Structure 1
Amino acid sequence: MSLLTAVPSASTDPEARSRRRTDRSGHPGALPDTVVVADSIEAVQDTLRWANAHRVPVIPRGAGTGLAGGAVAGPGIVLDLSGLDAITALEPVDLTADVQPGVITADLDRAAAAYGLCYAPDPASAALSTIGGNIATNAGGMRCVKYGVTRDAVLGLDVVLADGRRIRTGRRTTKGVAGLDLTSLLVGSEGTLGVIVGATVRLTPRPDQLATVAAAFPTVVAAATACAELTRRRLRPSMLELLDPATLAVIDRQQGTELAARGGALVLAQVDGPGLREQLTAVRQAFAPLAAEVRATEDPDEADALLAARRLALPSIEAEAHALIEDICVPRSRLAEAVEGVAAISARHGVATYTFAHAGDGNLHPILSYDRGLDRPPAEVEAAGDAIFSLALGLGGTVTGEHGIGLLKRAWLAREVGTDTLEVFRSLKRALDPHDILNPGKAL
């Protein structure tokens, strides 16, 4: 029996296959043989049963917003889960929601807002990315410094294994320690251990008080040092974002803003909840010794405008050049060293670099740009990226804070975790997917 017979939603249409060839990483990938746009969990199960029996690779896919090449296609089947997009339950007393993998992140947050709640993880792609994709990569975002990453918001998962079996992991309760923590194992596994078809996620009370601070600094190092000072003072903003001068300039050019006029670097911080004014005063006092200017607002429209500019950083860069998007994370105490190191690497290799960061958790995004006329990054850009990964590990950090390993960082995984640990990863993969059909060649 062919897949087209076994799964009615399977298609070999060339246009459908071409649209799902790559993700936002820009990796060219290869044209898949078949696309399955899943219209039910049973379709997912049937697809995996057939693929497992015939040893055919399956590449799970959501919205295709991933930046590490985790959804890049190859020969085999692309399993598109974006149509499974229902919020099947929202329990305001339990502070939970049950969602299918194709639910758009921002749509879940809006649904929760009707009950005075929010879905805390907020990647920059929240308006486009799906919950399933966020779970697959353990996505982060600007609110992570206070509210945690996706893993912290996932209580349980509904998962289809490589052979088509469907299992439930985790729980709907706040507490629970029955059995092994398969939920945490599957979050961030990039579709290599199972296909997520549902999730129970934690919701958080939406803050009714919020203030935003925009602080201009003469240099990026001064800005990074000021961000670290917040932690030293035991302050916990709900958001702490840093943008370097190159990033401010490109946002200004593309969006018509005037961010660069404020100073050489910009830090955006938010505080929320009880004691708002005291928090706001403490943040301003921490920034004041190093800042050229500190402004604060409780106006939601002004705050939204500032955050919209931050979210447009990457699209603004991509409007002018190709971008090799890096994603390192270092201990908070080493943030200034990381910023200095990235700038030195950029200068040494002669590569234009834009750096912005989730400064509250040490997560930097150094974006290396190169000419649009080139099909792939030139040697100096790849060398600079390699040096940035070395820098991160040398500072006690990681080569990816929230984007995942995908295709683009596989060579660096063993350097970070060691060969013995990598073999443990692979043994788990073999136990759950002995024929290596699930997203082969990715992550592990």
Structure 2
Amino acid sequence: MIVSRIEAPRDEATDTLVDRLLGGLPAEAVLTDPDVTASYARDMASFCPAGAPAVVVLPRTVEQVQHVMRTATALRVPVVPQGARTGLSGAANATDGCIVLSLTKMDRILEIDPVDRIAVVEPGVVNAALSRAAGEHGLAYPPDPSSWEMCTIGGNIGTASGGLCCVKYGVTAEYVLGLDVVLADGRLLRTGRRTAKGVAGYDLTRLFVGSEGSLGIVVRAVLALKPKPPEQLVLAAEFPSASAACDAVCRIMGTQGRAASARGDGGGRRAGGHVPSLLELMDRTTLRAVNDLARMGLPETTEALLLVAFDTPDPAADLAAVGALCEAAGATQVVRADDAAESALLLQARRMSLTALEAVKGTTMIDDVCVPRSRLGDLLDGVARIAERHRLTIGVCAHAGDGNTHPTVCFDAQDPDESRRARASFDEIMALGLELGGTITGEHGVGVLKKEWLARELGPVGVEMQQAVKRAFDPLGILNPGKLF
């Protein structure tokens, strides 16, 4: 990560702001020390500018958040909402003179209802904490970003995050039933419902999911839960090329693949493809990086490793069928985990991929291109050509089951030429994703990093309509300014 020292100047306007904030917040919730406020200036994204916050506030109640927003509106001060700052697009980066509104102290699980299968939580609840609490009731909260031990539900909602289990269970947006949102002027808006169904009015809940704090401050969320599935078992398949691994993905997810694996031949049709609980890919560069960091003994001679998991009543049978499809696609070795512990070890290797790649040269730019599954091989081949052309190390890990890839550019931030080539390669990967019918972000959001590319994807009419929505909710433009548009 590229980090520079940031200090907030104190002036009469800042003193007035702090005094007004202290009128409705306890002193310990208002941070003004420049060394402290600077530590809240950015998330984990590289190449994203960050300003100097005037003040950082850490409210514990809805009423305190409302006071912050009323103060910000009265004084026309920008507000940047934050969670755990594990984001990868600069969406949580401060702007000069802003209020950083950190919601990490609002971390209560207010309710878990096993009958209605819902959880009601505050935005600072850590994803893993909710998952464990739901598990005590025989339930599960499926969205599981790689940073699930650190990231917060509010941040997950702000970026519409995904995770390793999306291929079967879907993304955050599919689990948010209702929200309490503090608007820019301090009013409290309640959207959505607690019921399993409901279509009254516009779906404002979905509008806030993925809005990156630019429309309002989420202070409470009603989330859907699922029955806790059986322990999943994982299969690891090695491939001589990334394209062969992507061929296996298509066979696994395609309806013909299910028919072929059921009969043991190469053709035929039957409704419904396999539905793994996880389908992940790691290329050779990523495998080496994980081994270098954690000495996990992953195979480094293979070009791509595919991880497939099932949490069905008979996962062994499903893995055997999928193993046959992998072999038909050219897998050189297929190994099935014997138990849940071995499966968890393989998944841990996948979860630490991005951390391992950052350790290669100290800085990374993490792309988030999502393409149709049928074009996954084309994307990976294209990334390899881009890496060769720019003389860079680019590792790829992917939620292969839904086509969401994370090409990760490794570079030395102290080398200006290498930094320039890193940025150029990042842009070329996004362009390639759009050419293949994909999107510039599947789960990390737009933030600062991809603002220019959002306009290319949406087109002028799409941008105009989204800006109109922004103005309706935030006419003064004080909510997370400079993000998205």
Tell me the amino acid that sits aligned with residue 5 of structure 1. Answer: L
Tell me the amino acid that sits aligned with residue 388 of structure 2. Answer: A
Structure 1 residue 225, shift from structure 2 partner = 1.2
Structure 1 range deviating more: 28-37 or 237-246: 28-37
> Which aligned pairs between 1:34-53 and structure 2 lie closer than 5 A?
34-53=55-74
Q: Please give the alpha-carbon distance, in whole angstroms, between the structure 1 residues aligned to 2:150 and 2:248.
A: 32
Structure 1 residue 35, shift from structure 2 partner = 0.7
Structure 1 range deviating more: 344-353 or 195-204: 344-353
Would you say the 8 A contact 1:345–1:384 is kept in 2? yes
Q: Please give the alpha-carbon distance, in whole angstroms, between the structure 1 residues aligned to 2:452 and 2:142.
A: 32
Q: In structure 1, the residue corresponding to 2:119 is in which secondary structure?
A: strand
Matching residue within 127, 140, 146 for 1:105: 127
Structure 1 residue 264 corresponds to structure 2 residue 298: no
Structure 1 residue 218 corresponds to structure 2 residue 240: yes
Structure 1 residue 377, shift from structure 2 partner = 6.5
Residues 128 and 366 from structure 1, CA distance in 2 versus in 1: closer, same or farther, beyond 3 angstroms? Answer: same
Matching residue within 133, 147, 151 for 2:155: 133
Computed over aligned residues only, the root mean square deviation of the Cα atoms, in angstroms, reads 1.4
Residues 200 and 38 from structure 1, CA distance in 2 versus in 1: closer, same or farther, beyond 3 angstroms? Answer: same
Aligned to 2:327: 288
Gaps spanning 5+ residues in structure 2: where?
Answer: 1-15, 258-272
Structure 1 range deviating more: 150-159 or 24-33: 24-33
Structure 1 residue 210, shift from structure 2 partner = 2.2
Residues 94 and 377 from structure 1, CA distance in 2 versus in 1: closer, same or farther, beyond 3 angstroms? Answer: farther
Structure 1 range deviating more: 336-345 or 22-31: 22-31
Aligned to 1:95: 117
Structure 1 residue 175, shift from structure 2 partner = 0.4
Would you say the 8 A contact 1:209–1:274 is kept in 2? no
Would you say the 8 A contact 2:21–2:67 is kept in 1? no
Q: In structure 1, the residue corresponding to 2:45 is in which secondary structure?
A: coil
Would you say the 8 A contact 2:127–2:150 is kept in 1? yes
Aligned to 1:308: 348
Would you say the 8 A contact 1:327–1:403 is kept in 2? yes
Structure 1 residue 243 corresponds to structure 2 residue 282: yes
Q: Please give the alpha-carbon distance, in whole angstroms, between the structure 2 residues aligned to 1:140 and 1:223.
A: 22
Tell me the amino acid that sits aligned with residue 67 of structure 1. Answer: L
Tell me the amino acid that sits aligned with residue 345 of structure 1. Answer: I
Q: In structure 1, the residue corresponding to 2:360 is in which secondary structure?
A: coil
Aligned to 1:77: 99
Aligned to 1:18: 38
Aligned to 1:420: 461
Matching residue within 274, 296, 299 for 2:313: 274
Structure 1 residue 277, shift from structure 2 partner = 3.4
Structure 1 range deviating more: 381-390 or 102-111: 381-390
Q: In structure 2, the residue corresponding to 1:88 is in which secondary structure?
A: strand
Structure 1 range deviating more: 47-56 or 11-20: 11-20
Would you say the 8 A contact 1:209–1:276 is kept in 2? no
Aligned to 1:443: 484
Q: Please give the alpha-carbon distance, in whole angstroms, between the structure 1 residues aligned to 2:24 and 2:421.
A: 46
Structure 1 range deviating more: 273-282 or 124-133: 273-282
Gaps spanning 5+ residues in structure 1: where?
Answer: none
Would you say the 8 A contact 1:193–1:433 is kept in 2? yes
Structure 1 residue 169 corresponds to structure 2 residue 175: no
Q: In structure 1, the residue corresponding to 2:475 is in which secondary structure?
A: coil
Structure 1 range deviating more: 368-377 or 137-146: 368-377
Would you say the 8 A contact 2:279–2:306 is kept in 1? yes
Matching residue within 43, 47, 65 for 2:86: 65
Q: Please give the alpha-carbon distance, in whole angstroms, between the structure 1 residues aligned to 2:249 and 2:283.
A: 13
| Paired residue total | 444
Matching residue within 166, 187, 199 for 2:209: 187
Q: Please give the alpha-carbon distance, in whole angstroms, between the structure 1 residues aligned to 2:420 and 2:414.
A: 15
Structure 1 residue 288, shift from structure 2 partner = 1.3
Structure 1 residue 434 corresponds to structure 2 residue 475: yes
Structure 1 residue 160 corresponds to structure 2 residue 182: yes
Matching residue within 164, 167, 170 for 1:148: 170
Would you say the 8 A contact 1:6–1:47 is kept in 2? no
Would you say the 8 A contact 2:232–2:343 is kept in 1? no
Tell me the amino acid that sits aligned with residue 412 of structure 2. Answer: D
Residues 374 and 48 from structure 1, CA distance in 2 versus in 1: closer, same or farther, beyond 3 angstroms? Answer: farther
Q: Please give the alpha-carbon distance, in whole angstroms, between the structure 2 residues aligned to 1:280 and 1:443.
A: 41
Q: Please give the alpha-carbon distance, in whole angstroms, between the structure 2 residues aligned to 1:376 and 1:423.
A: 36
Structure 1 residue 258, shift from structure 2 partner = 1.6
Normalization by structure 2: what TM-score?
0.89
Q: Please give the alpha-carbon distance, in whole angstroms, between the structure 1 residues aligned to 2:77 and 2:417.
A: 29
Aligned to 2:365: 324
Tell me the amino acid that sits aligned with residue 303 of structure 2. Answer: G
Q: In structure 1, the residue corresponding to 2:179 is in which secondary structure?
A: strand
Aligned to 1:29: 50
Tell me the amino acid that sits aligned with residue 456 of structure 2. Answer: R
Tell me the amino acid that sits aligned with residue 455 of structure 2. Answer: A
Q: Please give the alpha-carbon distance, in whole angstroms, between the structure 1 residues aligned to 2:150 and 2:416.
A: 26
Q: In structure 1, the residue corresponding to 2:299 is in which secondary structure?
A: helix
Q: Please give the alpha-carbon distance, in whole angstroms, between the structure 2 residues aligned to 1:4 and 1:197.
A: 18
Q: In structure 2, the residue corresponding to 1:439 is in which secondary structure?
A: coil
Structure 1 residue 96, shift from structure 2 partner = 0.6
Structure 1 range deviating more: 183-192 or 269-278: 269-278
Residues 186 and 256 from structure 1, CA distance in 2 versus in 1: closer, same or farther, beyond 3 angstroms? Answer: same
Would you say the 8 A contact 2:239–2:302 is kept in 1? yes
Structure 1 residue 298, shift from structure 2 partner = 4.3
Instruction: Give per-residue Cα distances to partners, 1:228-278, cap 9 Å, x unaligned.
Output: 111112111010000000000111111111213462211111011234333
- Which structure has the greater CA radius of gyration? 2
Tell me the amino acid that sits aligned with residue 400 of structure 2. Answer: A
> Which aligned pairs between 1:362-377 and structure 2 lie closer than 5 A?
362-374=403-415
Would you say the 8 A contact 2:231–2:340 is kept in 1? no
Q: Please give the alpha-carbon distance, in whole angstroms, between the structure 2 residues aligned to 1:376 and 1:429.
A: 38
Instruction: Give per-residue Cα distances to partners, 1:315-343, cap 9 Å, x unaligned.
Output: 11112321011100000111111111111
Would you say the 8 A contact 2:126–2:153 is kept in 1? yes
